[in-house]
Structure 1
Amino acid sequence: MKKSNSYKATVVLGISFFGLLLSYPFKDSFTGGFFTSLCSAAMVGGIADWFGVTALFRKPLGISFRTEIIPRNREKIFNEMANMVQNEFLTKERLKSKVEEYDIADLLIRYLKEHGGKQDMKEVLDKVVQNLLDEIHPQEMGVFIEKLIKDGVEKAQVSPIVVKVIAWSIEHGYDDLIIDFTCKELIRIIKRKEVHDELTMFIKRVRSEYEKHSVVRTLTDKILLDWFLSLSPANIAQLLQDKGCNLLEDKHVLRKEIRIYIENWLKKLKEDKNTQDKIEKLKVEIVKKISIHEQLAQVIKTYKEVAATHSEGVFYLIKDINQEVNNLITRFEDNVERRNQLNSKVQQKVIQWIDKEHGYIGKMVNESLNHFTNAMLIEFIESKVGNDLQMIRINGSIVGGLVGAFIFVITFWFV
């Protein structure tokens, strides 16, 4: 098909030439003159158009004047093509409107669910975490994480956090749960035999200090406490335990007192700068005493060992990772607000990039076109429109012949 019209044009030109040779001897007659004019005009038109078509790409007959039009003007052509692509086809407004039409979140979800994105995520995470574990030195990382935690805690203001946590707990009724739990634990502790023994020893020491080798005090203690009241150190200890338990079991009174104390302390913490400074100072002192780098190092070492001994890699340590990824995708898919936020942010970034880098489209087109040599450019254009260009030769012969015949008729009858 590429040579089809070229072949036809050559055939038409050949017919015109032989037609001229055959009719020229009879040019003085009407018929001979008619065909002579027709064929000569067709041949001239065909040759002229052959010259014009060839001159677009090469030097016909070796003539260099005004020929090789496309190779000579390749830079202008490329610049115009780049300008057309950048400023007519891919304008800023058109690109922006296309970006705004895309649902980026939907594309992301379909990639994750339908095109292997979930598995890609798992493999990337596996490689990243595995590489991190391979490069990590447990002791160094333990020290680093401990320092990171301490620095973060020291810089953070604890007082506002404490106020918010306590206020939220009171608002949602968690203070009652905490008080009930604390009371039960304290009752359990108070009833223990060890507490009873400690209280007994303490009371004995107090009585011993009180008596101090005084016969009168000793007799008083024995007669009054031991004989009449039957309050031996063991009995007094038991009474104290019972009293403490009864006090803790009276939840309504205790809860009211504790709540009042908490509210007063909370108000003081909100307004009193000295109390806030004390909390922050206590925080710093506690943080300085904390040493967890050894425990962190051991945890990291364990993770490395487990990951190294299982074919599933680090994901052996994470149960149901596929289900978690599915849940994450589902939550994102159902959360319209987050999807809109993602679309808005991505579109905004892309539009900013278009505003900043739009001129690069023309440069990119120009750079791509400049890879074509003259021979490649000619071959490319001829492969796309060469067959159509050959129609110019055919049309030139036909139109030239018709015009030649028309002129002969006019001149023959009217001149």
Structure 2
Amino acid sequence: MIGPINNADRALILSFLLFLTALYLHLLFPMAIWAEGVLAIGEAALVGGAADWFAVTALFRKPLGFPYHTAILPRRRDGFIHAVTIMVQKEFFSRRKIFNHIEKMHLVPLLQTYLHRSETKEQTTNTVMHFLRGSLLRRNNGKMISYLSMRMKEIVLQEDAAGLIDRLVDVFHTNSWDRKAFVKLAGFLKKEAAAEETWHSIHDSLGRIEYEKIGGGFLSRLLEMTNTVNLNEGTDLIQRHICAALDELGTDGSPLQEQVLSLCRSYLLNLRRDDEILSLTRELQERMAGELPIEETLVRLFDEMRKHFERDRERHVNSIEEHMPELYTHLRRIIHVEYDHMRSLVEERPELQKIIAKVLYDLLARSALHAQTLVGIVVGNVLSRLTDDELNRLIYDKVEEDFLWIRVNGSLIGGCIGGIIFICTRVIM
């Protein structure tokens, strides 16, 4: 490899200078044995250093342009890349090493620690809420609409008539809907009772009653002349009493209102023992389940919601949070409760922990085995994109020091062998 002068180059240059010096001494003292020995050592050191330089250089390029069996790595780069890929797959990411490493991991405690983090709980909640928004934004919600329609019909049909009456009474009482209804009804009736038409109606009714009781003879005219019976005053009195009663009925917590509410509730609860009412309620349930356009209504509802949500998404607004804050809060509360319940199940049930551990180990093992192939592909692609010079530099930089010592050792060993051969030849001769 081309680069600054290093110890191996210095050793080769020193061998060459030693050879030149030994050759000069041999020519100067042709009969001197020591000059001949120095020359033999210099020759061998120069040959060993040059041979090792040639061998190391031939791995990466063509030394001195020599074309035969040189530049081995660039010529065999495909085989080298394939061998490196197989080595990474089979050795570094072998099945045995993967499974041994996975078996040392305690996955369930790690999972429990992860689930205890508040960030995990919040991320899970946001993910579920995002999924709910995405479900509402889908154009084709046919399956969801069919399921909801079927469930609504089933709920209507499976509801017990007597239980339905009980629940309706309880809902009206709990939410004070019955009290509010009486307040509005009392206000409406008072307005009607105070009207002039009502006054005339009461007056006419009293007149008819008077005629039915005493007729139109002398007694009637006598009572009228003596003002014993004054229909106008009676009408005013009755109208005032009616308005006063309606005022008391419309006043929250008044005795009359409480008495009327109690009577109404008792009457409604008694309806659950009436067979005709129960039969009528059941027939109403069946007709509602069969004739109400539940599915068509849900289709229009989802379509309008989707359009509205899409407009909000363009404004980067969370539609549920902005337009239905109570529903949004309620959904998040439900998700939090279910999340805590799931976490407690994981912590308290050993059989569930075994199932989760088995699933996690299997998932990790399969993922790791898939990663084995993926890592090989990544390594192969990365090495394939390298140029010959980049690939040479990548390999050479990792073993540069060893290659330099190979070259240095070539000069040293060559010189030693040259000296031994010279001594042996002199001894034999």
TM range (shorter): 0.5 to 0.7
1:119-130 correspondence to structure 2 within 5 Å: none
1:56 is aligned, of 54, 59, 63, to 59
RMSD: 6.6
Given the superposition, is the C-alpha separation of residues 283 and 78 from structure 1 closer, same or farther in structure 2, using an over 3 Å criterion? closer
Match of 1:77 in 2: 84
Question: Larger relative contact order (C-alpha < 8 A, sep ≥ 6)?
Answer: 1
2:37 is aligned, of 33, 40, 59, to 33
Q: Is 1:157 equivalent to 2:155 in the alignment? A: yes
- Unaligned segments of structure 2, at least 5 residues: 124-129, 347-355
1:255 Cα deviation (Å)?
3.3
Given the superposition, is the C-alpha separation of residues 400 and 89 from structure 1 closer, same or farther in structure 2, using an over 3 Å criterion? same
Match of 2:3 in 1: 3
1:77 Cα deviation (Å)?
2.4
1:395 Cα deviation (Å)?
1.4
1:156 Cα deviation (Å)?
6.2
Which letter maps to 2:83? K
Does structure 2 retain, via aligned residues, the 8 Å contact 1:34–1:409?
no
Match of 1:113 in 2: none
1:376 is paired with a residue whose SS is coil
Aligned residue pairs total 358
Which letter maps to 1:4? P
Does structure 1 retain, via aligned residues, the 8 Å contact 2:58–2:71?
yes
1:313-332 correspondence to structure 2 within 5 Å: 314=315
Q: Is 1:253 equivalent to 2:256 in the alignment? A: no
Given the superposition, is the C-alpha separation of residues 205 and 268 from structure 1 closer, same or farther in structure 2, using an over 3 Å criterion? closer
Which letter maps to 2:262? K
1:58 Cα deviation (Å)?
4.9
Does structure 2 retain, via aligned residues, the 8 Å contact 1:190–1:244?
yes
- TM-score, normalized by length of structure 2? 0.53
1:157 is paired with a residue whose SS is helix
Bigger mean CA deviation after superposition, 16-25 or 232-241: 232-241
Does structure 2 retain, via aligned residues, the 8 Å contact 1:13–1:43?
yes
Counterparts of 1:264 and 1:181 in 2: how far apart (Å)?
22
Q: Is 1:376 equivalent to 2:376 in the alignment? A: no
Does structure 2 retain, via aligned residues, the 8 Å contact 1:105–1:339?
no
Given the superposition, is the C-alpha separation of residues 78 and 200 from structure 1 closer, same or farther in structure 2, using an over 3 Å criterion? same
- TM-score, normalized by length of structure 1? 0.54
1:192 Cα deviation (Å)?
1.6
1:243-322 correspondence to structure 2 within 5 Å: 249-264=255-270, 275-279=281-285, 281-282=287-288, 314=315
Which letter maps to 2:265? R
Counterparts of 2:96 and 2:4 in 1: how far apart (Å)?
33
Q: Deviations over 1:83-104 (max 9, x none)?
A: 4454389947669989968789
Does structure 2 retain, via aligned residues, the 8 Å contact 1:58–1:67?
yes
Counterparts of 1:216 and 1:171 in 2: how far apart (Å)?
48
